[in-house]
Amino acid sequence: MTRPRLYRASGVSTSVRCLSGSSLQLHPTRTPNPRPAGRVPPSNTNTSAAYQRQRRSEWLFVGVAGSAAAFGGWYYWANIRKRNGQEDASAKALRSYSTQDNSRPSTFSIPARVRGPGEQSIKVITPLTTAEVDARLRANERSTIVERPPGACLVARYDTNCIPSNDPTEDRHAEVIVERDRGIDEPRSSKANKTSTASTPRGDLCFFTVMDGHGGWHTASLLSQKLIAFVALELDKVFRETGEYAQMARNHPSISSAVWHSLFGGKDSKSPSSSALDGNPDIVKRALVKGFRGLDKEITTTPLELLKQYELNLAAAASQGTAPTANDPKNSLSSLAHSIWPSTVQGSSTASSFLGASPASAREALLAALSGSCAQMVYIDSARRDLYVATTGDSRAVAGYWDERAGRWEVEALSVDQTGRNPSEVRRIQREHPADEASTVIQRGRVLGGLEPTRAFGDARYKWDRDVQQRVVDAFLPNNKSVRGAPRSLKTPPYVTAEPVVVTRKIPMGHAEEHANNESLMAAAQESIGSLSGSHPSRELRFIIMATDGLWDLMSDQEAVGLVAGHLAGIRGTVLAADLQQQCFEPSKARITLSDAASSAENGQADSSTVEKPRDSPNHPLLRTPNHLQKFTFEDDNLSTHLVRNALGGAARERVAGLLAIPSPESRRYRDDITVNVILLNSPTNTSTSAQSKTPNNDSKTTPITKEMPTAKL
């Protein structure tokens, strides 16, 4: 195609045919139109500069817009898209969860711990099947029947269980029942009559403990082996009136009989049972406190003794011009422990030998001091019908009383949680430290902002000064990054104590129990029954629930007592929680009977089936059932297992299956280790025979305590 040419002519107009077929009129350039006055003709230079400025502005705008678009794309890819993916996964988990079929339930998702960039932030969980749930709940359960002569022991049976969340679990428990070596009416100077011993029970001493470890399992494990022994050694001094208790015995008046005489008149008793130190609650409380504090002292001072010996060895080696090596057995940690606790003292009853001479004892001692544990002990003196509850930390004991006159159950908390949220504990710690630390000793409800319980064994981070902590770690755990340093606000340790708070109660005697107990035991028990607070003539102590905080985080005191009371009444199946609470604790309701329990369960099932869930509520397995729809299930023979199952969800089987399926460490976000001990006491309606009939059918999980019990030196 030929390009059109442009011709210039003088005085004429020239028409040029364009490619489109139209004509373009060209005017002569020799005779332009006259310019208006005052107007400067545009120049090529000015036009080019303006054009360049415009082009630069356009390119600058394009560059800024492109950069913004690139940054927005990167931010979306790095943050928004990832977050939307997580929300979509969570929404999918919340959107559908079905267990209608008999196959394995559907999966659900939970947030997972992210240890580094690029790792998955959610974890898919497959709930356990019904058989797997039962196996997990019953793996550690045990029921123990106390088969003793009538009147010898107040405990008929105790059920224990431990459901771990940490791996390994940080909870422990221990139980010991021993017989006195002397009756409360037998003179201390005379030997026990073997003939009378066979016919007259001296009364058993019962010890029950639960331990809730934190920062590791080492402290709780040591307590499960040593705490009862330390307390028993201190009580032995009380029973034998030796050591510091000898002077107390000489100055000890017959307090119980004196109070009884002043209140009710009659002859003042001078019998051994009324004047013995073990009948004085204040002295027994003193022994319990000394046992707790003595063991904690050994736990926290043992590494310091090792450190002292270690540094002496280093100094001796330096003075001799020889540098000790790691392979030198004389400078090993185990050899130091062996030198401090030689094998000659192994098996001794002295407190300093509690670690023995094992080569591994030194490391265990150090780990027991660095980790920590709460502890609770229930001590029952069957002969005197005395109950003591010693608590260090936030484990809890709850008593279930049956009030015959009112026809209802009553709940009594036998301990108070000792945490940074307890106002009395906060005031106590503030009093023990300078005024300038009043705002830092408790931060966010925790000791120095880190430890939740205000009383605990071990926890050397809160008991040693900063310099000692660093020396111990450098000497025995060098380059160990898992060891936490001293708290930032630590100035005047110790901030944590193992001294327990001790509560005492007199166990009332049942109306139908008189024929089973001998007259001497009855007289001794009734002698001081009016001298203690907490006794109530119309109510009877039936059971005690002691558990770590893992249970109480999910269940109230009243719910726990109601579940045990309903279980003892023979309830089976499913019952609305509100109906159970009403039947147990409403004054207008009659005593729970088997027929009442059965009708309650049927009504509970019928009522719950007619109530529909809100349509907009997601059916996620971990969501808790609303209070008005909550249902309990009665299907376990072991009382502790019964409590744990209902704490995790009860009749909401999807929730129980989901919670138990979550592995460690993610499971700690939803539940803690749970350890429970339910202690059943002998009563007119709950004897050893009746307790035995309600124990699990699995013989491997039932341990009887026979009538031939070893005699304790207490």
Residues 116-136 have pLDDT tens digits of 665 667 888 999 999 999 999
pLDDT digits (tens, 9 = 90+) for 268-317: 444 445 568 898 999 999 999 999 999 999 999 999 988 888 888 888 88
Which of 504-518, 540-554, 602-616 has the largest mean confidence?
Answer: 540-554
Domains of the chain: 1-31 (no CATH), 67-126 (no CATH), 131-418+453-459+496-611+618-705 (3.60.40.10)
Signed CA dihedral, 699, 700, 703, 708: sign only = positive
Q: Does the pLDDT at position 688 exceed 50?
A: no
pLDDT of amino acid 313: 81
Q: Does the pLDDT at position 388 exceed 90?
A: yes
What whole-number distance in Å separates Cα of residue 638 and Cα of residue 644?
Answer: 10
Select from 420, 547, 480, 452 the least CA-distant residue to 161: 547
Signed CA dihedral, 699, 705, 707, 708: sign only = positive
Taking CA 336 as the corner, what is the angle to CA 330 and CA 339, rounded to the nearest 5 degrees? 100
pLDDT of amino acid 508: 82
Q: Which two tokens stand for residue 490?
A: 């630590």
Taking CA 491 as the corner, what is the angle to CA 488 and CA 493, rounded to the nearest 5 degrees? 110
pLDDT digits (tens, 9 = 90+) for 154-175: 999 999 999 999 999 999 999 9
Q: Tell me if residue 680 falls in helix, strand or coil.
A: strand
Residues sharing a CB contact under 8 Å with residue 300, sequence separation 6 or more, in sequence order: 369, 458, 460, 463, 464
Q: Does the pLDDT at position 92 exceed 50?
A: no
Mean pLDDT of 554-575: 96
Question: Higher confidence at residue 276 or residue 683?
Answer: 276
Cβ(565)–Cβ(400) under 8 Å?
yes
**Exposed, middle or buried: residue 707 (CB in 10 Å: 0-12, 13-18, 19+)?**
exposed
Question: Higher confidence at residue 652 or residue 518?
Answer: 652
Q: Does the pLDDT at position 606 exceed 50?
A: no
Question: Which amino acid does the sequence have at 235?
Answer: L
Q: Does the pLDDT at position 38 exceed 60?
A: no
pLDDT digits (tens, 9 = 90+) for 618-663: 456 777 778 778 899 999 999 999 999 999 999 999 999 999 999 9
pLDDT of amino acid 608: 34
Q: What does the mean pLDDT of the chain come to?
A: 76
CA distances from 73 to 62, 63, 87, 119 (A): 16, 15, 20, 21
Q: Does the pLDDT at position 34 exceed 70?
A: no
Q: Which helix (H) or strand (E) holds 242?
A: none
Query: How would you classify the pairing of strands 14-17 and 372-381?
Result: unpaired
Q: What is the pTM of this model?
A: 0.74
Question: Higher confidence at residue 537 or residue 419?
Answer: 419
Among residues of the chain, what percentage have pLDDT more than 70? 64
pLDDT of amino acid 628: 73
Taking CA 692 as the corner, what is the angle to CA 169 and CA 676, rounded to the nearest 5 degrees? 20
What whole-number distance in Å separates Cα of residue 667 and Cα of residue 674?
Answer: 12
pLDDT of amino acid 525: 39
Select from 480, 319, 458, 320 the least CA-distant residue to 392: 458
What whole-number distance in Å separates Cα of residue 25 and Cα of residue 13?
Answer: 7
Q: How would DSSP label each residue in 476-526?
A: HSTT-TTS----TT--S----B-PPEEEEEE-PPPTT-TTTS-HHHHHHHH
* DSSP E strand boundaries for 304-427: 372-381, 386-392, 396-403, 408-413
pLDDT of amino acid 207: 98
pLDDT of amino acid 478: 73
pLDDT of amino acid 707: 47
Q: Does the pLDDT at position 187 exceed 90?
A: no
Signed CA dihedral, 228, 230, 233, 238: sign only = negative
Query: How would you classify the pairing of strands 457-458 and 372-381?
Result: antiparallel
What whole-number distance in Å separates Cα of residue 17 and Cα of residue 618?
Answer: 77
Q: Does the pLDDT at position 602 exceed 70?
A: no
Q: Tell me if residue 598 falls in helix, strand or coil.
A: helix
Q: Does the pLDDT at position 519 exceed 50?
A: no
Q: Per-residue b/e over 673-690, b at no fewer than 16 CB within 10 Å?
A: bbbbbbbbbbbeebbbee
Among residues of the chain, what percentage have pLDDT more than 90? 45
pLDDT digits (tens, 9 = 90+) for 220-252: 999 999 999 999 999 999 999 998 998 888 886
Mean pLDDT of 526-542: 57
Q: Does the pLDDT at position 513 exceed 70?
A: no
Q: What is the 3-state secondary structure (H, E, C) of 513-539?
A: CCCCCCHHHHHHHHHCHHHCCCCCCCE
Residues sharing a CB contact under 8 Å with residue 199, sequence separation 6 or more, in sequence order: none
Q: Which helix (H) or strand (E) holds 290?
A: helix 281-319
CA distances from 500 to 237, 357, 393, 416, 442 (A): 19, 29, 8, 11, 19
- Per-residue pLDDT band at 705 (split at 50, 70, 90): low
Q: Does the pLDDT at position 520 exceed 60?
A: no
Question: Higher confidence at residue 590 or residue 493?
Answer: 493
Mean pLDDT of 468-476: 86
Q: Does the pLDDT at position 183 exceed 60?
A: yes
Q: Which of 73-87, 283-297, 493-507, 510-524 has the lowest mean pLDDT?
A: 510-524
What whole-number distance in Å separates Cα of residue 298 and Cα of residue 177?
Answer: 25
CA distances from 629 to 566, 622, 625 (A): 18, 15, 6
Cβ(651)–Cβ(633) under 8 Å?
yes
Residues listed for the chain: 714
Question: Higher confidence at residue 617 or residue 406?
Answer: 406
Mean pLDDT of 692-710: 52
pLDDT of amino acid 460: 96
pLDDT of amino acid 353: 40
Q: Does the pLDDT at position 204 exceed 70?
A: yes
Q: Does the pLDDT at position 609 exceed 70?
A: no
